[in-house]
A and B are shown apart, each in its own frame.
Chain A
Amino acid sequence: MRGLRPLVFVGMIGVSALALAADGPGDAGLRVFETRIRPLFARHCTACHGEKEQNSGLRLDTSEGILAGGDSGPAVVPGKPGESLLLTAVGYGADDLQMPPDKKLSDKEIAALRKWVELGAAVPGATAERAVRREALDLETERQFWSFQPIQRPPLPEVQNAGWYQTPLDRFVLEKLEAAGLSPAPPADKRTLLRRVTYDLTGLPPAPKDIEAFLADDSPDAWQRVVDRLLASPRYGERWGRHWLDVARYADSNGLDENIAHGNAWRYRDYVVAAFNGDEPFDRFVLEQLAGDLLPSETSGEPLETDPARHERLIATGYLSLGPKVLAEVDETKMEMDIVDEQIDSVGRAFLGLTLGCARCHDHKFDPLPTDDYYALAGIFKSTRTMEHFTKIARWWENPIPTPADLARKSAHERQVADAKAAIDERVARATEELKASLESGAALPKDVEAQFPEKTKAELKRLRDELAKLEKSPPELPTAMGVSDRDIVNVQVHVRGSHLTLGETVPRRFPLVLAGRDQPPLPADSSGRLALARWLVSPDHPLVSRVIANRIWRWHFSRGLVATTDNFGRLGERPTHPELLDWLAAEIVGKRTPGDVDEAGLESEDGGSRMEDGGIPRWSLKRLHRSILLSAAYRMSSAYDAHAAAADPENRLLWRFRLRRLEAEEIRDALLAVSGRLEQTMGGSMLNVANREFIFNHTSEDKTSYDSRRRSLYLPVVRNHLYEVFSLFDYNDASVPNGNRGTTTVAPQALFLMNGEPVMEAADALSRTLLSDGALSDAERVQEVYEQAYGRPASEREVERAVAFLGSEAGAERERAWSNVCQAVLASNEFVYIR
């Protein structure tokens, strides 16, 4: 997409044309050009920037070429060597723009170039302005791309197999299958379904009593009640909050170069879990994460500073701060822009499914996102305070979130300090008076009064001061949360090639043109614009945000998105397999019946206002979306293999059967703990064993991480650069970039872990101990028990026989060991780690 950025340098070239026309400097400049510059260009530059090659679009063998500059803008700004890229390049000051690349020019040559530019950068014979006028973005054409199209709630398609579908969305699935001559797999049996949905919604295996209850429930709404029970379980938020944390690139340490602890990131994690459990409307969830600090206060009656609701909103903005940062970057301006970049990139992928970060150095190569769009957003984030300071090791900003008790402690401490100071002052004053009294009248006080105090007084003062120092050193720590606030509001210049050393035109803060149009109202001068950005994202007509989240939810239920590239809805992303279904789901989320009938007022109010549309249906409710998916026949299909369908659609894109799914890393660990009866269900809080901002890994390479816990995996510290090995083995997300689509690899080290890893052997031991502790059970009954616990089904006769044969006739410790080996095989098996 080269050529999208409007030309902004015409004026400058105009200046140069004027300089040429004038007498004096122009003549001198021309002389310099002919005698010094032209030979210099010929010697060092024109091999790559000449007739044969025009690297980066720059040509230095013609006057027009010199004036026009290259892809990065004009090479020279007449009279202004400091703003001329040519001089930046030859000065070797910018790391990524150094010319000639092999060897720096001599100081004399650089001086000549500088002189020539100062004199107006005159070149002979160039009379016509030559401008590489970049084409303006044709918004109408670009908006034809599917994901930029407005969302229409599509009519339900006509289908043949009227007996199959249960919910509207089934008809979209069935339509595609029928068109391909395929039929959906038969419904899954109850045990399979319960195991599937329990892992899906809670990340844990179903308890035997839940299986019994479901099997016994023959009522028509048995399934619906299971779904509702699981959606109401706090385990739901732990499972689905974790999905969101993948998208939020959540981590408890910075990673990258200086791996220091995000000691307060857990507050954001707990906020997310609570938001999912409370079915916080997704639009509100977006507003809080991007601009919670800017949301108007609610009327809770609490003072703002200690208002728990406001604290939650401040904690939510931790989202913007969680990214990995190069905290020891010596170039502070670069660090700042890198942090802004990380935010733009993450917000783009998470909410828009667009790789906005690609437009940092050049216009996006594939999507209609010119560099200006990027720097328009950069202004919003540069006007946001993410960092306390940038001096290495830089320090991220944290918002205070004190309770009234914290504040009371703080003011008590301040009072103590003030009292202590007053006591010292008073003591000094008294002693001075005493000293004065002891002097002859009229004699001046000595310079160092205290030196003249009696020893006893000195000692007392020392004691008082020591106490004060101690007191001042230990102020009560106020709780804080990673997050952001607004700072000085700025618009940002385009950074040519992404470098802050080569700045171009200033772009006012605004949203991407292709989505928001050219006639955007200017963002407020007194605010970063984050709140406006968030409101724009969740406006009901936004073509991307509801599609992207609907697709994410689908992906997490079905292991593959309707758009397989969940984080990329651009040209390089995949096209939806079921575009109408995606739009139907997106319209469901925003509560859109038909275009135009939306109750705007409800969404415009500050707190999200009324959540109900006319029919009383909550908007942006994810639990409601879960229900419509889970109650569908599509979700309840079995995973039965069908050779005909497999040949026609080997990837199962059309969903002719339910996709087998390997448990995710956390599910594997949690399941090991759960089936061996050792899972602790405590929620929330931090498990980091180093203090906030302390090194998790410093130069010593000593490993301070510990994962020795029985709590759910969600609560284990997520240490970037050194993830818990069990997690990284099983395709945990990288925790540095948003990822809504974890991979599933099968590698031998996973097998090594299951064969030899302590967590697995401990689980097997615990499970077998429990089995053996009941002396009344026969071995066959014990095998049944293991299968119920681990697989949620009874063992077949053959399976019982096989296990009992394995146990042999061992007794005592050998027998316990044999039992543990059986249990370990069960826990390592395909059936344990795959959901059907």
Chain B
Amino acid sequence: MLRASGVGFGWLAAASLLAEQATADVRPASEDADPLAPRQPDFPARAKRVIFLFMKGGPSHVDTFDYKPKLQADDGKPLPFDKPRVQFAPTGNLLRSPWKFRPYGESGILVSELFPHVAQHVDDLCIMNSVHGTNAAHGGALLKLHTGSDTFVRPSMGSWVTYGLGTENRNLPGFLTICPTLAHGGVKNWGAAFLPAHYQGTPMGVASAPSSQARVKFIANGRLSRDEQRRQLDLLAAMNRDHLAQTGPHQALEARLNSFELAFRMQMAMPEAEDLSRESAATHKLYGLDDPVTADFGRQCLLARRFAERGVRFVQVTHSDTNVQWDQHSQLKEGHEKNSREVDKPIAGLLADLKSRGLLDDTLVLWGGEFGRTPTAQGKDGRDHNPYGFTMWLAGGRSKAGIRYGATDDYGYYAAENKIHIHDLHATLLAFLGLDHERLTYRYAGRDFRLTDVHGDVVRDIMT
């Protein structure tokens, strides 16, 4: 049942729109319980929420966070071991990275020239160099990364997290995805599949439109003033109460009555959360909103912080435009330079901002694409998809800071040491949030389902 509410406009004006701090200790067993009430995790959580910075198309790990001296040395030579049995496209010999790497921070971790701003925060990063998946095509890889399955329709990880933990702010969606891509799985990537609709991700805008236009669907009435709509809702509530008196007690009917009140509050909370004009000029600058190159993604990152701050459980931002953004089958240099310029400063800004507000302690930031790229050349200046070994990184949420974990082989083709499969990544994400991936199950069609299916090992070594 939705939260009971008899409150009207006066309450709303006064109400804090920031997170409501309330907890209940059971997962909803039936429709009786509030499906979105905040819930205690299985064990003490490190992080309370997730911000996923999704780089669509597959950024190249060997050109960013996984420096390979042998690749630099053996440029133009053949790969000295077998390529995978199935490849997306044929590739030729090794192609050195066109960018220089240098050490940053106390950790001295090497980062390429593509991410000079993020590199300033390298001591906060937990760089996972040994992530691997199974699907070499965008669609399958996106679905695998977001839902754990590239063949079946499964709930998105954000839906699982919201199912597991509920949400801390009932006036905002628990799982938001900003400017998502409609291709390659589309809605499936934030869908709840067989989980109840409460856990569905709420999209704001699409990748093909500027983030300044991103809005939640139906969130505003273009015609009625707030007072007019309030009067209308009062009429509706009176009608619904009469109806309920006739039908007798009925959970869904009561819930539906309340859902209009909640919707009305969401209508107020959302514009407030979206309103970046309340942020200082310094903050705008920090996220690169003052520069047309970085403004679009900067706005997404700033929105992500504002939502995280207001108790949204899982926020995803997507870096993608009308092209498959990071998908440099050719013109690696031009493409990756354009892409990294657009995201580097906003991401660094987000990390700095979260940290200064104390939010980084309990917010887990995840960065990465659906796969990496081959160290071998496609054509003369491109790289093909590579799900066999690539890099994602974490920050905050009590992940181990300033480390690299796992490794690819000498050239960066295959994950080789301390491998982290996508299922392991999912198990670990849930563990950061205090959820046991083997216990976070949902019974559907007679079977208990998990985000990790029957797989997944928690990578304890990257948790503090």
Contacts and interface: CB of A to CB of B under 8 A. Distances in A.
B108 to A, nearest CB: 25
B208 A748 contact: no
Interface stretch (B46-54, B357-365, B375-383, B413-421): B413-421
Contacts of B207: 701
B228 A821 contact: yes
A324 B191 CA distance: 16
A687 B255 CA distance: 36
Contacts of B239: 799, 802, 825-826, 829-831
A565 interface: yes
Contact of B446 (A568, A660, A747): A568
A104 interface: yes
B137 A737 contact: no
Contacts of A754: 260
B218 A101 contact: no
A640 B249 CA distance: 10
Interface in A795-836: 798-799, 802-803, 806, 817, 821-822, 824-826, 828-831, 834, 836
Given A573-B446, A829-B236, A660 B219 contact: no
B4 interface: no
B183 A751 contact: no
Interface in A98-140: 101-104, 107
B266 interface: yes
A570 interface: yes
B202 A749 contact: yes
A825 B138 contact: no
A703 B417 contact: no
A699 interface: yes
Nearest to B325: A699
A104 B414 contact: yes
Given A326-B151, A568-B446, A331 B86 contact: yes
B350 to A, nearest CB: 23
Interface in B208-245: 208, 217-224, 228-229, 231-233, 235-236, 238-240, 242-244
B153 interface: yes
Contacts of B335: none
B150 interface: yes
A572 B183 CA distance: 35
A499 to B, nearest CB: 11
Interface string B131-175: 000111111101100000011110000000000000000000000
Contact of B206 (A698, A703, A745): A703
Interface stretch (A44-52, A252-260, A402-410): A252-260
A565 B187 contact: no
Interface string A224-265: 000000000000000000000000000000011111000000
Interface in A560-587: 565, 567-568, 570-573
Contact of B224 (A571, A699, A821): A821
Nearest to A326: B140
B247 A836 contact: yes
A330 B322 contact: no
A326 B137 CA distance: 10
A702 B208 contact: yes
Contact of B232 (A331, A639, A747, A825): A825
Contact of B197 (A639, A698, A731, A829): A731
A748 B266 contact: yes
A328 B139 contact: yes
Contact of A660 (B136, B228, B253, B259): B253
A143 interface: no
B238 A802 contact: yes
A819 B245 CA distance: 25
Interface string A678-718: 00000000000000000001111111000000000000000
B463 interface: no
A11 to B, nearest CB: 29
Contact of B219 (A93, A572, A721, A752): A752
B156 to A, nearest CB: 12
B419 to A, nearest CB: 6
B446 A749 contact: no
A351 B379 CA distance: 50
B208 A700 contact: yes
Contacts of A256: 139, 143, 185, 188
A577 to B, nearest CB: 16
B59 to A, nearest CB: 16
A96 B252 contact: no
Interface in A768-818: 798-799, 802-803, 806, 817
B187 A746 contact: no
Nearest to A761: B223
A822 B231 CA distance: 10
The B interface is mostly helix, strand or loop, or mixed, namely loop
Interface string B180-215: 011111111001011011101010001110000000
B150 A326 contact: yes
B9 interface: no
A736 interface: yes
A693 B163 CA distance: 36
A558 to B, nearest CB: 16
Contacts of B292: none
B278 interface: no
A722 interface: yes
Interface in B86-104: 86-88
A753 interface: yes
Most A CB atoms within 10 A — which of B150, B218, B323, B447?
B218
B129 interface: no
A757 interface: yes
A355 interface: yes
A751 B2 CA distance: 12
Given A723-B187, A751-B259, A822-B235, A572 B447 contact: yes
A518 interface: no
A640 B247 CA distance: 6
Contact of A736 (B153, B232, B249, B446): B153
A748 B3 CA distance: 11
Contacts of A756: 218-222, 267
Nearest to A107: B81
Contact of A752 (B206, B244, B255, B267): B267
A698 B188 contact: no
A759 to B, nearest CB: 10
A729 B228 CA distance: 25
B256 interface: yes
A749 B257 contact: no
B7 interface: no
A746 B256 contact: yes
A755 B263 contact: yes
Contact of B243 (A341, A803, A829): A829
**Looking at A725, A754, A824, A825, which has the most chain B CB atoms within 10 Å of its CB?**
A825
A385 to B, nearest CB: 21
A338 interface: yes
Interface in B11-53: none
Interface string A738-767: 000001111111111111110001000000
A722 B182 contact: yes
Given A749-B263, A752-B266, A752-B267, A259 B151 contact: no
A411 B229 CA distance: 65
Interface string B312-334: 00000000101110000000000
A662 B102 CA distance: 62
Contacts of A700: 183, 208, 322-323
Contacts of A821: 224, 228, 231-232, 235
B235 A802 contact: yes
The 10 closest A-B pairs by CB, nearest first: A257-B139, A641-B248, A572-B446, A721-B186, A751-B263, A701-B208, A745-B197, A328-B137, A701-B207, A752-B218
8 contacts: A326-B140, A697-B182, A700-B323, A701-B181, A723-B187, A746-B255, A753-B218, A828-B260
Given A95-B134, A103-B417, 6 more contacts: A103-B419, A721-B187, A723-B187, A745-B196, A746-B255, A751-B259
